[in-house]
């Protein structure tokens, strides 16, 4: 069957200190490796409260119980409580994942700040934010990051070009449909050197509460998408969700994928498998584009070729 790359977005201090070790323990139990992408600077989760006026945001948080998953303390960071520095406070937990054989990469410097501003900001702002994350990553892990996965699937062209300047070969910054088609980004007359492997499967928080689904119902819905599906996939999970309350449902999903015969891999392993077959010589070059995703508020980076499959 197909490969399914596991991409763990770690957004907060709570996710780093609690969700990440929980997931590492589960992966060890099942003999699985994954890609962990870390937020490396301040945790300003409380700033996200201003999204209350964004279309669809209230509906999403009511379905996924944000307070229950993140806790009051995390939701006050940057508002009534000082924003903790995740990279300084939780470097031990980050290094433990890296030393445990998992792939590690950059999610962002400041998750909320990046997600809410990158689409409108210029190249200088973008490079500054990304360089802070890069420098902190190297400080913690003592080696450069191999990959990148954007916070909230939010990017701009300057950010995508920065990945090439860093020499990254692959990244997973956007979304696509459940039939993986890696691609390169078109920049005027040239194309990106790195390959984009977009997230192809819906996330737990996009499915829970829709049509009456609970967490196990969401896992079942995802398994229905991968049953007898010969295409490679990328699945994004969050340390704050699947690494805590949703851990049992996520374990059921992993066991379901293994029972279906799928190979669960890191982003790097997925890239090397495509590289080995020579398929990357034939992939499309597509423009950078924003669009909407069902059951997720706001717009995010999507793959042009599959734009009609999103809404």
Please report, for the domain that includes residue 249, its CATH number.
3.20.20.370
**Most confident listed range (34-48, 76-90, 229-243):** 229-243
How many distinct structural domains can be found in the chain? 1
pLDDT at 20 over 80: yes
pTM beyond 0.75: the answer is yes
Handedness of CA 289, 56, 219, 36 (dihedral sign): positive
Identify the pLDDT of residue 77. 61
Counting Cα atoms < 13 Å in the Cβ hemisphere of 189 gives: 0
Pick from 72, 120, 97: nearest CA to 20 = 97
pLDDT tens string 258-307: 999 999 999 999 999 999 999 999 999 999 999 998 998 889 999 976 54
How many degrees, rounded to 5, is the angle at CA 71 between CA 69 and CA 75? Answer: 110
Residue 254: give the domain boundaries: 3-309
Alpha carbon distance 135, 119 (integer Å): 22
Where is average pLDDT lowest: 35-39, 40-44, 51-55, 188-192? 51-55
């Amino acid at each position: 069957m197909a490969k399914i790359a596991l991409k763990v977005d770690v957004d907060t201090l709570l996710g780093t200190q609690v969700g990440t070790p929980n997931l590492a323990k589960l992966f060890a139990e099942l003999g699985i490796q994954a890609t962990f992408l870390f937020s490396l600077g301040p945790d300003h989760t409380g700033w996200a409260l201003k999204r209350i006026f964004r279309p669809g945001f209230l509906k999403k948080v009511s379905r996924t119980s944000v307070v229950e998953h993140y806790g009051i303390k995390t939701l006050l960071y940057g508002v009534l409580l000082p924003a903790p520095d995740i990279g300084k406070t939780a470097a031990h937990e980050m290094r433990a994942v890296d030393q445990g054989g998992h792939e590690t990469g950059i999610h962002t410097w400041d998750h909320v700040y990046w997600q809410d501003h990158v689409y409108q900001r210029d190249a200088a702002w973008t490079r500054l934010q990304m360089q802070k994350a890069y420098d902190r990553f190297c400080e913690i892990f003592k080696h450069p990051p191999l990959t990148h996965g954007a916070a909230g699937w939010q990017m701009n062209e300057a950010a995508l070009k920065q990945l090439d300047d860093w020499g990254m070969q692959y990244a997973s910054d956007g979304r696509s449909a459940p039939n993986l088609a890696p691609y390169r980004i078109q920049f005027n007359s040239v194309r990106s050197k790195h390959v984009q492997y977009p997230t192809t499967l819906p996330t737990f928080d996009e499915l829970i509460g829709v049509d009456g689904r609970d967490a196990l119902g969401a896992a079942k819905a995802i398994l229905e998408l991968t049953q007898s599906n010969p295409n490679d996939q990328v699945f994004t999970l969050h340390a704050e969700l699947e690494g805590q309350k949703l851990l049992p449902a996520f374990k059921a999903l992993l066991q379901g994928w293994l029972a279906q015969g799928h190979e669960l891999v890191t982003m790097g392993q997925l890239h090397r498998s495509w590289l080995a077959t020579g398929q990357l010589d034939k992939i499309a070059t597509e423009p950078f584009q924003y669009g909407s995703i069902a059951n997720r508020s706001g717009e995010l980076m999507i793959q042009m070729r599959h734009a009609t499959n999103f809404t």
